[in-house]
Amino acid sequence: MSFSLTILGSSGALPAIGRFPSSQHLTIQNRHFLIDCGEGVQMQLAKFQLSHQKIDHIFISHLHGDHYLGLMPLLFSMHLNKRTNDLYLYSQKGLDEIITLHLKYSNSFLNYRIIFHQFDASKIQTLFEDDALTVETIPLIHKLDCAGFLFKEKIKPRKINKDKLVAGLKLKQIASLKTGADILDAQGNVLYKNEYFTLPPRPSLSYAYCSDTAWNESMINQIANVDLIYHEATFLHDDMAKAIETKHSTAGQAAQIAQKAKAKKLIIGHFSARYKNLNLLLDEAKNIFENTELALEGATFSLHD
């Protein structure tokens, strides 16, 4: 699939049997991203047959350990597997120092470069952009400065209407038609009109990763009409006092955010270890936002354009 999300970890800070800390693998148009990097992430990548060597961009939401303690083992495995490509790491201030100290005191040198991109979690910032998509921060509310990430595809090329193709149309001209341009002759006259030879582009897709956060209506405009949203749902409504104390969300609050943002689909995760039956959280969310699923390890969510 050209837009596919695999859950590597869905647990909160404390260990829970069968659940790993936060981490997700996202593929968009053959670009491979890692979002958060909890303990055991390299084992999860191997288990679900996802190559860590294809990952060129890692986004860390904040510096609570359950969101980044799997990073050093992953970096060393990349090194031992002879990685040479640059690795781009997006985080707030401090993660570069943590990695540098690990390397210093283990007297280690990586085969590849790590290129750090530091961001301010309190602001919406574009962290990554190429010809296919953008990634920007989503300011969140937590005990530490914390940001989510919004992945948005750009407008895709128009599709060639194969029923309209004519002899003599060159590959270069077809490529130009896909951009929405008309093909002109040497005198500037329209030779091939774009609207005749092409069809509208496939829909552009979007994914919002909303990591640890208290109730946060301020992000709704930014993530409006998103195709897929992950929102932490650490607690049930009955434990609202604990959610407020720790600046986390309930499953019901996650569903309200998805509803207010008019998202198409919601995934909930970051479950407290106190809950053995995750269907209680799922039911609470579905009572508000029906199209909700659990972020269970190994689950893959594919978006179709």
What mean pLDDT is reported for the chain?
Answer: 92
Q: According to the model, what pLDDT value does residue 32 have?
A: 98
Angle at 148 between CA 225 and CA 38, to 5 degrees: 130
pLDDT digits (tens, 9 = 90+) for 122-148: 999 999 999 999 999 999 999 999 999
Q: Report residue 15's pLDDT band, with 50, 70 and 90 as the boundaries.
A: confident
Burial class (CB in 10 A: 0-12, 13-18, 19+), 277: exposed
Q: Mean pLDDT throughout 258-267?
A: 98
Question: How far, in Å, are 14, 26, 61 from residue 51 at the CA level?
Answer: 27, 12, 22
Residue 1 has pLDDT above 60, yes or no: no
Unique residue bearing structure tokens 């979002």: 35
User: DSSP letters of 98-121?
Assistant: HHHHHHHHTT---SS-EEEEE--T
**Distance between CA 253 and CA 11 in Å, rounded?**
18
Contact 132, 2 (CB under 8 A): no
Contacts of residue 149, defined as CB under 8 A and 6 or more positions apart, other chains included, come to 35, 59, 61, 127, 135, 136, 137, 138, 208, 209
From the candidates 66, 145, 212, 227, which is the catalytic residue?
Answer: 66
Q: Which of 267, 269, 142 is nearest to 213 (CA)?
A: 142
Whether 66 sits among the annotated catalytic residues: the reply is yes
Q: Report residue 304's pLDDT band, with 50, 70 and 90 as the boundaries.
A: confident
Q: Tell me which of 109-113, 182-186, 285-289 is least confident.
A: 182-186
Contact 33, 59 (CB under 8 A): yes
Query: Domains in the chain, ordered, with CATH?
Result: 3-156+202-302 (3.60.15.10), 159-199 (no CATH)
CA 223 distance to own-chain centroid: 13
Q: Find the length of the chain.
A: 305
Burial annotation 140-168 (CB, 10 A radius, 16+ → b, else e): bbbeebbbbbbbbbeebebebeeeeeeee
Q: According to the model, what pLDDT value does residue 156 have?
A: 86
Q: According to the model, what pLDDT value does residue 202 have?
A: 86
pLDDT digits (tens, 9 = 90+) for 198-237: 777 889 999 999 999 999 999 999 999 999 999 999 999 9
